[in-house]
Structure 1
Amino acid sequence: MRSMKITLRKLLKPFIIAVIAGLILFFLFNNLLMPFYVQKGKITKVPDVIGLSLDDAKLRIKESGLDPKEAEYKSDKRYKIGTITMQNPVAESEVKQGRGVYLTISGGEELVEVPNLKGKSVREAVFNLEKSSLKLGSITYEPSEEIFANTIIRQEILPGAKIRAGNIINVTVSQGRPTDKIPLPDVSLKTLNEAEKILTDNGFRLGKTTYQTNPDVLPNTVLEQSPRAGELLQLGHSIDLVIAQKPEQEK
Structure 2
Amino acid sequence: MSFFGFLIKKRFYIHLGLSIILTVILFFIVLQFIKIYSNHGDTYVLPDFSGKTLAEIKNDRYDQLYEFIVIDSIFDTHNPKGSVVIQNPPAGSVVKQYRKVYVTLVAYSTEKVEMPDLIDLSLRQAVNSLRSKGLVVNQLQYVEDFAGNAILEQLYDGEVIEEGSIIEKGSGIDLVVGLGQGHYAPIPFLVGLKLTDAIDAINKASFNVGNVYFLDGEDPEHDRVYRQRPAWDVSGQLFKGNTMNISLRSDLDFDFDALIQELKPDTMYFSDTTKIIKPEF
TM-score (norm 2): 0.44
Query: Which of these two proteins has the greater Rg computed from alpha carbons?
Result: 1
* TM-score, normalising length: structure 1: 0.48
